[in-house]
Amino acid sequence: MDSFLLALAGFSDPYLLGIVILGTLGGVLVGAMPGLSSTMATALLLPFTLSMDPVPAIALLSALYCAGTFGGSITAILVNAPGAPPAAATAFDGYPLAQKGYAGKALGMAAVSSVIGGIFSIIVLIVAAPLLSRLAYNFGPPEYFALALFGLSMLATISGESAIKNLIGGAIGVLIATVGMDFTTGIERFTFGNWELSEGINFIPVMIGLFAGAEFIKQSGKLNEGRVAIALNAVRLPDWAEIKSCFGTIARSCGIGSFIGLLPAEGGTVAAMMGYNEAKRFAKDKSQFGKGDLRGIAGPEAANNAATGAAMVPTLALGIPGSATTAIILGALMAQGLRPGPHLFTEQPTLLYSIFLAMLIANLAFGLFGFFGAKLFARITLIPIQFLWPSVFILSCVGAYALNQSLLDVWTMIFAGLLGFGAQRYGFAAAPIIMGLILGGLVEGTLKQSLIIFDHQWTGFLGRPIVVTLLILTVLSVSLPLISEVRLRRRKAAAA
């Protein structure tokens, strides 16, 4: 209790409080830039924090981490260009809602869901860190393989009208994930002699192209069409009844995000995809998903922000980063002369409480920025498309290039845009391709590690209870949508 009071007293200092607010505002702005992310921002800020005291340095990076996760939803909703990878799932329903003239409602719901998810994860972090860290420690390569496979099984229901097309799209994503050198055998695959492809195709340029690039091509064909926009609706925030109707989705996604964030190297992107899928799975009326359903925003936003606090559990308790950004925070802790691990809870309790409070203040601050700034952000949708979309395309090119300062990433983004546009024309959604790309590398890597552990005996998987449970859920997740689709076709044929 004394450590908590000392940490709380520290935030009475305007300097420390200002550092957290500044980090929050910077995280929102960086997260809203297509291609940029909180990971990149924390990496750039890390050298500047080395001259700071440990508490303000880690508080700044933690605030940036929390706010950057939310910031990506702004451009995902307004212009279908996710500012951060976890916001890709938010664009599925956020952008259609903005197109209907309800950008304010979408942004307001994203802010509310993000704050609830973030605060929930902080409570989980404070109360259940020892228990959750022990659970995460039980996950080895076989469990990660089964979890990633379960994530791929959700492709059947994640978006679109056809489960078969979703699975085909996911297979394309997995195929893209195989490009590059196989680090187990040293063999290059699908590189065609280009050494830049040996490290694989990065997820971010593909994501920007599939969403923003494809939408840019689509909007270019609408330059001569009349544009109907209702300014009053665009800046209207969600009312209490609409927020209340999403409470069940938010609560479910908080649990999903906290569990996924707890697992080392999973992160908010997988949590957001699963949050969206479960929001759709549990909805009685699924007809509006993909067309502008508020639950399709609440689900992924609550999940990816719930993953932020939970990702700090293995980082602080085990010294194992729970995501790419927490890996940088882990490096910052070590650079400050601190040793992450169980002993951190006994040797540096004041620092831990300062991190918890910084994340809590950051969540409340970006909630205020997001909810009350939604009206201002929503007016972006009223900009004529002749000015808006060329600007989005330029920012997308900059975001793709800034990742590795490589023109290959820009060409990848452009090619992905053409692929996304063609896929939309033939009824294929972008979401399964993205999810296949995200999880494809994880499935392949953990499968190889697992087979090495089991001496190439497949029966080794059956001796792990968590793996067996996840494999059963995978079979059910794939088969049930396909069975439902076959039954629906038979009913239509019988009715005809």
CA 259 – CA 281 distance, rounded (Å): 18
Stretch among 78-87, 89-98, 108-117 having the lowest mean pLDDT = 78-87
For residues 156-178, give the mean pLDDT: 78
> Would you say 10 and 55 are in contact if contact means Cβ atoms under 8 Å apart?
yes
Stretch among 139-143, 159-163, 368-372 having the lowest mean pLDDT = 159-163
Q: What is the pLDDT of residue 12?
A: 81
Stretch among 95-109, 148-162, 332-346 having the lowest mean pLDDT = 148-162
416 against 130, higher pLDDT:
416
- 16-54 pLDDT, tens digit per residue, is 889 999 888 888 877 776 655 666 677 667 777 878 888
The model's confidence at residue 298, banded by pLDDT at 50, 70 and 90, is: very high
Q: In terms of DSSP H, where are the helices of 373-464?
A: 374-378, 385-404, 407-425, 430-453
Residue 250 has pLDDT above 90, yes or no: yes
Residue 1 has pLDDT above 70, yes or no: no
- 252-264 pLDDT, tens digit per residue, is 999 998 888 776 5
For residues 197-220, give the mean pLDDT: 80
Structure-token match 């409070």, residue found: 357
Rg of the chain over Cα atoms, rounded to whole angstroms, equals 22
Q: What is the pLDDT of residue 131?
A: 64
Q: What is the pLDDT of residue 387?
A: 76
What would the two tokens of residue 453 be? 């552990």
Q: What is the pLDDT of residue 457?
A: 87
483 against 120, higher pLDDT:
120
Q: What is the pLDDT of residue 264?
A: 56
The strand pairing partners of 189, in sequence order, are 180
The model's confidence at residue 231, banded by pLDDT at 50, 70 and 90, is: very low
Q: What is the pLDDT of residue 230?
A: 42
Q: What is the pLDDT of residue 36?
A: 58
Residue 297 has pLDDT above 90, yes or no: yes
- Distances 358 to 53, 62, 354, 485 between C-alpha atoms, Å: 15, 7, 6, 48
350 against 419, higher pLDDT:
419
Mean model confidence pLDDT for the chain: 80
Closest by CA position to 120, among listed 294, 292, 252: 252
Domain count of the fold of the chain: 1
| DSSP character string of 86-112 | GGGTTHHHHHHHHHTT-HHHHHHHHHH
Residue 8 belongs to domain spanning? 2-495
